């Protein structure tokens, strides 16, 4: 039976919550699944699955193109997701929320619509060594077209941003600063408020990649003080192909459309087109309507549990897993930030990350191996790849125990 998270009382009843996630009950290779790849994508609760199914069964129509009831219902579901996202991140206005396919599209929108028209040779885009490729490559592409340069602020051996160095690099040639809220490879939480304050002093806009923050912590873009904030739906229990960009209205009003087509116009003539106001100006074509019905359900589910409870439980789980992994001979953890989310990158001395991940999978344990779309970070640590165990509020200490036992078995096979 589908548990109702809004009725759950503290402390977190994890077994009751797990009943809401059908995939968590399956077996792989004859073993109970231990899903520790949540930084890659989160699993979906029944509330989300049913919201998508219900849309296609009962409300399927296109948005903003029909006066019939189904069209009105589809539009209400889609625009309701915008309201839910605005509430979720505490946006000043729903009209500052652009619905996208995820953080990658959101960042590319800022790169091409906001930044590129403002760039010239000699300008700089400042990011950090720990960024996901989605917060590096778009800036490189627009820099190549304009003669600008992408620079990266350094991190230390704990995987923490050296904030003083970042601030020193906020020179007058910097036209945009771009920082992840939470590192997808290390779990490091960056001090966004402090960074934003220093950017504002210098009149430099700040974009924040919030993909890995949104599943774990309450987001308040007004309190953070940034200019742009991007989230990805599938990281936070919602369907794939969903996400959002929040941007200050003054930026949105000055940005030309990135995609052209239906729904983003007021009037089209061959003599010229009048575009819609934001946010619809940036939402050409038919969106992932059913997916955004799932976004609303995912946000409702997370809010029903409460991020204070999620954070407390996940931090306890992170500490438990870290202590257990520290006791394994030859195991090295990458990233020891003072503040981090439940992401643990590691290697076993003498074992290749992909071999480990393959053998762990045969034990029923799903972890990520590779560079985690963070080549510069791997280069900083001098390794080609790591394993990454990323936890969520529906994981358990008994799963951690099973994971540790599986590592022990795999070590015997490889070493």
What's the mean pLDDT in 85-92?
A: 98
Tell me what the mean pLDDT of segment 393-397 comes to.
98
Our answer to whether residue 226 is catalytic in this structure is no
Tell me, what's the pLDDT at 143? 98
Averaged over 392-413, what is the pLDDT?
A: 96
Q: What is the structure's pLDDT at 3?
A: 44
**Segment 27-51 mean pLDDT:** 98
- What average pLDDT score do residues 270-297 get? 92
Q: What is the mean pLDDT of residues 97-118?
A: 98
Domain 5-44+306-410 coded CATH 3.90.1150.10: yes
Position 67 scores a pLDDT of: 86
Residue 4 has pLDDT above 50, yes or no: no
* pLDDT higher than 80, residue 66: no
Mean pLDDT in residue range 86-106: 98
Minimum mean pLDDT among 205-214, 251-260, 271-280, 383-392: which range?
A: 271-280
What's the mean per-residue pLDDT of the chain?
A: 95
Q: Is the pLDDT of residue 267 over 90?
A: no
- To the nearest whole percent, how much of the chain has pLDDT over 90? 91
The token pair at 344 is 């643990």
Residue 10 pLDDT > 80 = no
Give the residue-averaged pLDDT of 227-243: 98
| 128: nearest Cα among 337, 314, 322, 343 | 337
What confidence score (pLDDT) does residue 279 get?
94
Q: Domain residues of the chain, as ranges?
A: 5-44+306-410, 50-303
In this prediction, residue 1 has a pLDDT band, given cuts at 50, 70 and 90, of very low
By mean pLDDT, which of 115-129, 276-290, 354-368 is the weakest?
Answer: 276-290
| Residue 80 clears pLDDT 90, i.e. is over it | yes
pLDDT in tens, 322-358: 999 999 999 999 999 999 999 999 999 999 999 999 9
Q: What is the 3-state secondary structure (H, E, C) of the chain?
A: CCCCHHHCCCCCCHHHHHCCCHHHHCEECCEECEECECCCCCCCCHHHHHHHHHHHHHHCCCCCCCCCHHHHHHHHHHHHHHHHHHHHHCCCCHHHEEEECCHHHHHHHHHHHHHHHHCCCCCEEEEECCCCHHHCHHHHHHHHHHCCEEEEECECCCCCECHHHHHHCCCCCEEEEEEECECCCCCEECCHHHHHHHHHHCCCCEEEECCCCCCCCCCCHHHHCCCEEEEEHHHHCCCCCCEEEEECHHHHHHCCCCCCCCCCEEEEECCEEEECCCCHHHCCCCCCHHHHHHHHHHHHHHHHHCHHHHHHHHHHHHHHHHHHHHCCCCEEEECCCCCECCEEEEEECCCCHHHHHHHHHHCCEECEEECCCCHHHHHHHCCCCEEEEECCCCCCHHHHHHHHHHHHHHHHHHC
pLDDT, tens digit, 9 for 90 and up, residues 170-183: 999 999 999 999 99
pLDDT at 6: 44
Of 178, 199, 226, 373, the catalytic one is 373
Q: Does domain 50-303 have CATH number 3.40.640.10?
A: yes
Tell me, what's the pLDDT at 185?
98
Rounded Cα distance, 91 and 87, in Å:
6
Q: With 60 as the cut, is the pLDDT of residue 9 above it?
A: no
């Amino acid at each position: 039976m589908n548990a109702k998270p809004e009725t759950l009382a503290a402390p977190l009843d994890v077994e009751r919550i797990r009943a809401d996630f059908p995939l968590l009950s399956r077996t792989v290779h004859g073993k109970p699944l231990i899903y520790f790849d949540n930084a890659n994508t989160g699993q979906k609760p029944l509330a989300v699955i049913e919201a998508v199914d219900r849309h296609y069964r009962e409300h399927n129509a296109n948005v903003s193109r029909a006066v019939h009831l189904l069209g009105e219902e589809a539009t209400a579901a889609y625009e309701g997701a915008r309201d839910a996202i605005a509430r979720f991140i505490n946006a000043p206005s729903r009209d500052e929320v652009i619905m996208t396919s995820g953080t990658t599209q959101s960042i590319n929108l800022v790169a091409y619509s906001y930044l590129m028209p403002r760039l010239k040779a000699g300008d700089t885009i400042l990011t950090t060594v720990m960024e996901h490729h989605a917060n590096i490559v778009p800036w490189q592409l627009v820099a190549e077209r304009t003669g600008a340069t992408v620079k990266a602020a350094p991190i230390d051996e704990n995987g923490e941003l050296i904030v003083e160095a970042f601030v020193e690099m906020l020179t007058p040639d910097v036209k945009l600063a771009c920082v992840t809220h939470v590192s997808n490879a290390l779990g490091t939480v960056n001090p966004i408020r402090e960074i934003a304050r220093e950017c504002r002093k210098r009149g430099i806009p700040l974009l924040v990649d919030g993909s890995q923050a949104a599943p774990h912590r309450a987001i308040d873009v007004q309190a953070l003080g940034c200019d742009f904030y991007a989230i990805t739906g599938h990281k936070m229990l919602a369907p794939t192909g969903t996400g959002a960009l929040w941007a200050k209205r003054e930026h949105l009003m000055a940005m030309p459309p990135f995609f052209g087509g239906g729904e983003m116009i007021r009037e089209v003539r061959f003599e010229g087109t009048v575009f819609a106001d934001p946010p619809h100006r940036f939402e050409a074509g038919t969106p992932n309507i059913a997916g955004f019905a799932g976004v609303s359900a995912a946000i409702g589910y997370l809010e029903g549990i409460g991020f204070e409870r999620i954070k407390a439980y996940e931090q306890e789980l992170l500490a438990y897993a870290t202590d257990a992994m520290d006791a394994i001979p030859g195991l090295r953890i990458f990233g020891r930030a003072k503040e981090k989310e439940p992401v643990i990158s590691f290697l076993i001395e003498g074992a290749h990350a992909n071999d480990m991940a393959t053998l762990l999978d045969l034990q029923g344990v799903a972890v990520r191996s590779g560079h985690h779309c963070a080549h510069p970070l791997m280069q900083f640590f001098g390794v080609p790849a790591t394993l990454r165990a990323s936890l969520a509020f529906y994981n358990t200490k008994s799963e951690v125990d099973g994971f540790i036992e599986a590592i022990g078995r795999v070590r015997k096979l490889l070493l």
